[in-house]
Amino acid sequence: MGMKRLQAFKFQLRPNGQQERDMRRFAGACRFVFNRSLAFQNENHEAGNKYLSYVKMTAWLVEWKKEPETQWLKEVPSQPLQQALKDLERGYKNFFQKRASFPRFKKRGQSDAFRYPQGVKLDQDNSRISLPKLGWISYRNSRQVVGEVKNVTVSQSCGKWYISIQTEYEVPEPAHISTSMVGLDAGVAKLATLSDGTVFEPVNSFKFNQKKLAKLQREMSRKVKFSNNWKKAKRKVHNLHSRIGNIRRDYLHKVSTTISKNHAMIVIEDLKVANMSKSASGTVGQPGHNVRAKTSLNRSILDQGWHELRRQLEYKQLWRGGQVLAINPTYTSQKCACCGHTAKENRQTQIQFKCLECGYSANADINGARNILAAGHAVLACGEMAVLGRSMKQEPTEASRTSV
Ligand SMILES: [Zn+2]
C-alpha cells in the first residue's frame, strides 16, 4: 500500500522576448478577470445577494469574451483565466472559514502569476517545458522533477520569470511508531480531552483579540476613506487579523502533532460543524430555542478550530501511518463509560458526569472521550471501516445533536 505525496519544484525560466511579452499579458488578463469578478461579487453582495460560485463566475467570463472591449481575453489561454476564478472562490472559502482575510484586489507587479492545471509537457532532458499558447520555454534545470505533473504556475518576481511545477507521487506507507488507540472529545471549555485524561486548553486568541479588533475597526471607520490615516488604520486591522490566524494555527499544529505522535489510532466524533451552526436558528417545523446561547456556543466551537484540528490530525496521521476513525456521536455525552446506562440525567452539568445507575462519576469530557474510544473499538470489531480517513464517505450524523 502506498500514499500520495505532493511536491513543488521551482525553476527560473529563460523565455524569449515574445514569450516574455505573452506571459506578462496572460498574467495581466488573469489579474483583470480576478479583479473584475471580485468587484462584481462585491456589488452583488451589497445588493443583498449571496456570493456566487465558480460555475456562475465562469459564465461571466464567457460573456466578457464576447463583449467588444474585452474580446482580447480570447487570445489568452482559457484555463489560467478559469484558475483565477478558482483562486477567488478559494479566497472566499478561506475567508468564511476564518483562515484568511477577505479577498483583495490584485495589483500589478505584486501578483503577476497564472496557473495551468493541464496541457503541459515537460522535457527534462532538454531543460524545457511546453505551455499552452506559449510553446517550448527553456528553464534553469537545477534538480530532477519527480512524480506526475499536476499543475504548473508561472510567476514573475523582480523582473525574472519562474515556473513552479507541482507533482504527485506514490511513496510507501509508513508504519506508525505507536500502537496506542485513543478517544478524543472535542469541547467548548476544553479544545480536546483524550480518553487517557490528557486535556488541551482552548485557543482563546480570537476572543482575546476581538475587542482590540473592534476598537481598531472603529478607529478606521472614523478616518476619511482612502486617506493616509485610513490606510494606516486599515493596515493595523489587517495585521491583527493575520496575527490572530497565525496564533491559532500554531497552537492547533502543536496540539495535532502531539496527539498524532503518541497515538496510532485516534477516534473522534463525526461532528459536522456546519450542521451545528445551522441548528441554532432552527427549522420551520422546529424553531431554534435559546438562539443566542447556541450562537455563542457555535462561535466558540468555530473559534477553536475543531474543523481545522480534525483536518490536521487526518493528514498528520496519514504521514505517520496512523489513522483517524470518525464514529457516530449519538449519546457519547449521556452514556456511562462504566456500565453503559444512557440518560440525559447522567449529565447534570456541563462539567460533571454522574451515572444514576452505577454511581460512576467523572469529568464529563473524559467520560465522553472514553465512550468515543469504546465506539471506535466496536466499529473496528465489526469491521465497519466506512468512516475511516478523508477519502471515504462519512456516516450521516444526527443534526440535532449540539452538546459536546
Ligand atoms: Zn454507570
Mean pLDDT of 113-123: 94
Rounded to the nearest angstrom, the distance between the alpha carbon of 307 and the centre of ligand 1 is: 31
Cα dihedral angle (159, 163, 164, 169), rounded to 10 degrees? Answer: -170
- Note the pLDDT of residue 280: 41
8-state DSSP, 281: T
| Strand bridging mode 265-269 / 181-186 | parallel
Rounded to the nearest angstrom, the distance between the alpha carbon of 365 and the centre of ligand 1 is: 15
- The segment with the largest mean pLDDT, out of 19-23, 307-311, 331-335, is 19-23
Q: Could you confirm whether 398 is annotated as catalytic?
A: no
- Note the pLDDT of residue 4: 79
Cα-trace Rg, the chain: 26
Among 363, 359, 364, residue whose Cα is nearest residue 403: 364
393, pLDDT greater than 60: no
Mean pLDDT of 2-24: 90
Chain-wide mean pLDDT for the chain? 84
183, pLDDT greater than 60: yes
Catalytic residue among 22, 269, 303, 314: 269
Rounded to the nearest angstrom, the distance between the alpha carbon of 184 and the centre of ligand 1 is: 20
Angstrom distance (rounded) from CA 128 to CA 136: 6
For 134-179, what is each residue's pLDDT tens digit?
A: 999 999 988 889 889 999 999 998 889 999 999 998 877 778 888 8
Residue 388 pLDDT level (bands cut at 50, 70, 90): very low
322, pLDDT greater than 80: yes
Out of 122-131, 228-237, 311-320, 392-401, which region has the weakest mean confidence (pLDDT)? 392-401
Q: Could you confirm whether 250 is annotated as catalytic?
A: no
Residue 115 pLDDT level (bands cut at 50, 70, 90): very high
C-alpha cell at 241: 487579523
Residue 283 pLDDT level (bands cut at 50, 70, 90): very low
- Note the pLDDT of residue 214: 87
DSSP 293-335: HHHHHHHHHHHTTHHHHHHHHHHHHHHHT-EEEEE--TTTTTB
Reported pTM: 0.53
Residues 6 or more apart in contact with residue 84 via CB below 8 angstroms: 30, 31, 33, 34, 37, 114
Mean pLDDT of 14-23: 96
Catalytic residue among 87, 112, 185, 314: 185
- Note the pLDDT of residue 2: 66
- Note the pLDDT of residue 342: 93
- Note the pLDDT of residue 295: 54
- Exposure string over 30-61, b if 16+ CB within 10 A, otherwise e: bbbbbbbbbeebeeeeeeeeebbeeeebbebb
For 226-261, what is each residue's pLDDT tens digit?
A: 999 999 999 999 888 888 878 888 889 999 999 999
C-alpha cell at 224: 476619511
Residue 111 pLDDT level (bands cut at 50, 70, 90): confident
Rounded to the nearest angstrom, the distance between the alpha carbon of 355 and the centre of ligand 1 is: 5
- Note the pLDDT of residue 303: 56
Rounded to the nearest angstrom, the distance between the alpha carbon of 9 and the centre of ligand 1 is: 57
- Note the pLDDT of residue 250: 86
Q: Could you confirm whether 303 is annotated as catalytic?
A: no
Q: Tell me the percentage of the chain whose pLDDT exceeds 90.
A: 54
8-state DSSP, 32: H
CB 275 within 8 A of CB 397: yes
